[in-house]
């Protein structure tokens, strides 16, 4: 097994069915193990197994102190990763599927900046220095902007964030960073890896097919019921959540109807759907080196 083929990396993004996919991967661990494959998901990656690898380094050039912190994190975790992979080999796992959306950044940063992962370049560069030599394939799931931002805002409200203002909604519709920027950031950080971009809308119905695509070959995993976890909350649920926090005015502005939460106007939705369609068309044209738009019919 070539060193660069040890880890198959699924890098998110948030609100693209990652929790459901990771639950499916977790439940398939015995079957994956029987095929010589280990699985590392958020439960493993966020348990301080690799301390500091998700360090938020901000946007732009690093300060001297940040660079020193990065060098320390790289030194410590390079040794830890080698030890973990050796342990996995003893367990019979020649390959690892790693799924972790926090490599890219955070929901909080995206909402506050009105853009997709503005600090991804520094985060990815740090992660790549440690894990990059073991990775030849990266999978990134993307989603239509209107559905992505609607889901993210609903999660933001659920977690205690404020109801977005009309100005904020417009800034999200006009977002300065798009999926093509995220793909370029990943490509720059991992200059030798193949990058497979998977539209959420195509892949969410079938976790088994999604896992096969991330791995890069049919695995013949047992069929399981498709899970839908961490789904967006509806208006009635969010209304009660806001009222429970004492945000009565915000709750009344939101409304209490038992209907899907939709903060965007039809014009905003059309604008964001058109931007997403343009991104998919550009990815389909194949103009970015080592990047391929993948749909289920061509997942191998």
Q: In the predicted model, is pLDDT for residue 266 greater than 60? A: yes
- Higher-pLDDT residue of 19 and 298 is 19
**From the candidate CATH numbers 1.10.3470, 3.40.1710, 3.40.50, 3.30.160, the one assigned to the domain spanning 3-145+178-229+277-298:** 3.40.50
Long-range contacts of 178-182 (CB under 8 A, 24+ apart): 178/116, 178/145, 178/275, 178/279, 179/116, 179/142, 179/276, 179/279, 180/279, 180/282, 180/283, 181/116, 182/13, 182/104, 182/116, 182/117, 182/120, 182/140, 182/142
pLDDT tens digits, 46-101: 888 999 999 999 999 999 999 999 999 999 999 999 999 999 999 999 999 999 99
CA dihedral 209, 279, 268, 242 (to 10 degrees): 40
pLDDT tens digits, 202-232: 998 888 999 999 999 999 999 887 767 777 8
Domain boundaries, given as residue ranges, for the chain = 3-145+178-229+277-298
Whole-angstrom distance, CA of residue 228 vs CA of residue 21: 9
pLDDT tens digits, 99-147: 999 999 999 999 999 999 999 999 999 999 999 999 999 999 999 999 9
Whole-angstrom distance, CA of residue 202 vs CA of residue 216: 17
pLDDT tens digits, 19-61: 999 999 999 999 999 999 999 999 889 888 999 999 999 999 9
| Torsion region of 126: left, alpha or beta (phi above 0 gives left; psi -120 to 50 gives alpha) | alpha
């Amino acid at each position: 097994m070539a060193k660069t083929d040890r880890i198959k990396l699924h890098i998110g993004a948030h609100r693209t069915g990652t929790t459901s996919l990771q639950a499916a991967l977790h439940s398939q661990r015995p079957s994956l193990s029987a095929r010589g494959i280990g699985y590392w998901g958020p439960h493993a990656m966020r348990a301080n197994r690799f301390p500091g690898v998700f360090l938020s380094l901000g946007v732009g050039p690093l300060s001297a102190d940040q660079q020193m912190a990065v060098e320390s994190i790289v030194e410590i975790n390079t040794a830890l990763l080698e030890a973990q992979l050796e342990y996995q080999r003893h367990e019979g796992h020649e390959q690892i599927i790693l799924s972790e959306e926090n490599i890219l950044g955070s929901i909080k940063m995206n909402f506050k900046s009105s853009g997709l992962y503005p600090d991804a370049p520094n985060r990815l560069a740090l992660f790549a220095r440690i894990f990059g030599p073991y990775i030849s394939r990266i999978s990134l799931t993307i989603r239509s902007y209107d559905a992505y931002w609607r889901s993210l805002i609903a999660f933001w409200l659920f977690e205690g964030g404020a109801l977005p203002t009309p100005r904020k909604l417009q800034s999200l519709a006009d977002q300065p960073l798009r999926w093509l920027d995220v793909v370029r950031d990943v490509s720059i950080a991992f200059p030798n890896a193949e990058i497979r971009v998977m539209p959420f809308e195509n892949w969410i119905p079938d976790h088994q097919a999604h896992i096969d695509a991330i791995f890069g070959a049919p695995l013949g995993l047992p069929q399981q019921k498709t899970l839908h976890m961490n789904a967006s909350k509806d208006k009635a649920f969010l209304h009660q959540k806001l009222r429970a926090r004492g945000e009565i005015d915000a709750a009344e502005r939101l409304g209490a109807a038992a209907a899907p939460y939709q903060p965007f106007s039809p014009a905003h939705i059309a604008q964001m759907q058109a931007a997403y369609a343009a991104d998919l068309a550009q990815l389909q044209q194949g103009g970015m080196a080592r990047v391929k738009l993948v749909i289920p019919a061509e997942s191998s």
